[in-house]
Structure 1
Amino acid sequence: MSVNSTPAASIRVLIVDDHPIVREGIAALIDRQPAMAVVGEAANGDEAVQRFRELRPDVTLMDVQMPGTDGVAAIEAIRHLSPKAAILVLTTYPGDAQAVRAIQAGAAGYLLKNSIRKELIDAIQAVHTGRRAVSPDIAHALAAHALDERLTERDLAILRLVADGHANKQIAWRLGVSIDTIKANLKHLFAKLGVEDRTHAVTVAARRGFIER
């Protein structure tokens, strides 16, 4: 782990990612910046909250999908500890639904890991000064689906069961409703997602971040 002793004016960064090589690469980039330094690292959401409590970094870079406590839950916990905490999501998942959850949890930005280096540095500086930073691809997806009808908890439960390969009869039994109700739910769900069948529904839901595959 790269942890530097830094001047008080530096932006102190905590890196949270379950891949050591990713953390190492990000740390090397940040430590080359004259006004930034990595003060700590964490490999999962629980560690992230603990390290934040110990270090009180200026900016936390947060992955979202990690073993155990995920990034969104960690964002909520950190913002509970410090309502003004500056958290920038850095992820490989471009789904707009996942971005919405992260931002609603308190993230100030949402950046993809394939972003160019300057974009990451600019984003860290932006959230440190109270501004937002969102990857153009994510911003486009958020705008494209801004007026979509919201998926309900029932919709998400059905999607997960469909993704797991359950037939309508099994889904109805698990949710304690009739098969006709599930058929009606699926028809409405397909309309919300703009799809025509179960396979396409799962593909779109996974791509947008409604479910994990």
Structure 2
Amino acid sequence: MIRVLLADDRTSFRTGLAAILAIEPDLEIVGLATQGQEAISLATALQPQVILMDVRMPDCDGVQATREIHDRYPWMRILMLTTFDDDEYIFQSLQVGALGYLLKRTPTSEIAAAIRAVSQGYSQLGPTIALKVFSRLQPPLVDATRPALSKRELEVLRLIGMGKNNQEIAGELYLSEGTVKNHLTQILSKMSLRDRTQAALWAQKHLS
């Protein structure tokens, strides 16, 4: 059973989506938050596996809430679900720890599937969102299939693409977190990538 927290300031959308998702046999809606600060509090109290997070909310928006939750509980998977496809919101959300970004017009069945995928550590991007994200990747990187990385760096990159954090990667590869950070620095430098999000997207495209 996947424990899900839903954060959205629109009552009709929040309760309606919760009712539909609750029908899914493997999803349990453990809490509903009306704004970002409440989402942070409920994440602490309820320990959900996946959080559906709106971007624009009063008091504390979804980006700020995502940053705080990800910093405190990096194992929680956060999927942004919003009406806004502004580039700024998309990249801010991904950079602070969101593992996916979907628009609210996404069919409910696809939202449920995205929750399952995110719970396993796989990124989920809506079709129009994916185009925006991949357009930010430098063209040579999209075409490159054999970057000049060591075997260990490729292993780290593959796990980054699966949504693993540094602690999880260190445990799986029997490395220290400091060594993982050093490998990540080398990967970003060698591939001329800006950040971890770009590395994860590249890995999902070429190493999955």
Q: TM-score range by the shorter chain?
A: 0.5 to 0.7
1:99 to 2:81 alignment: no
Report runs of 4+ in structure 1 exceeding 3 Å deviation.
Answer: 145-148
> Displacement of 1:97 after TM fit?
2.3
Q: How many residues align?
A: 139
Structure showing greater Rg: 1
2:119 to 123, 128, 134: 128
Q: Identify the match of residue 47 of structure 1 among 33, 38, 44.
A: 38
Q: Distance in 1 between the 2:82 and 2:95 partners?
A: 16
Q: In the alignment, which residue of structure 2 is the partner of 1:11?
A: 2
1:87 partner SS: strand
CA distance in 2, matches of 1:97, 1:140: 14
1:88-123 per-residue CA deviation (whole Å, 9 max, x = no partner) reads 000000122211100101001000000011210110
In structure 2, give the amino acid aligned to 1:53.
T
Gaps of 5+ in 1: 1-9, 149-213
| Percent identity between the two aligned chains | 40
Secondary structure class of the residue paired with 1:143: helix
Partner Cα separation in structure 1 for residue 86 and residue 128 of structure 2 = 10
How far off is 1:79 after superposition?
0.9
Aligned letter for 1:51? L
Matched to 1:127, the amino acid is: V
Matches within 5 A, 1:59-70: 59-70=50-61
Pairing of 1:1-213 with structure 2 (within 5 A): 10-147=1-138
- CA positional deviation for 1:145: 4.0
Cα distance in 1, alignment partners of residues 121 and 138 from structure 2: 27
Offset at 1:70? 0.5
Tell whether the 8 Å contact from 1:95 to 1:138 is kept in structure 2 after alignment. no
TM-score, with structure 2 as normaliser: 0.64
> Aligned AA for 2:94?
I
TM-score by length of 1: 0.63
How far off is 1:147 after superposition?
Answer: 4.8
CA distance in 1, matches of 2:23, 2:32: 17
Following superposition, the deviation at residue 146 of structure 1 comes to: 3.8
Q: Provide the residue aligned with 1:179 in structure 2.
A: none
Unaligned runs of 5+ in 2: 140-208
Q: Residue 158 of structure 1 aligns with which residue?
A: none
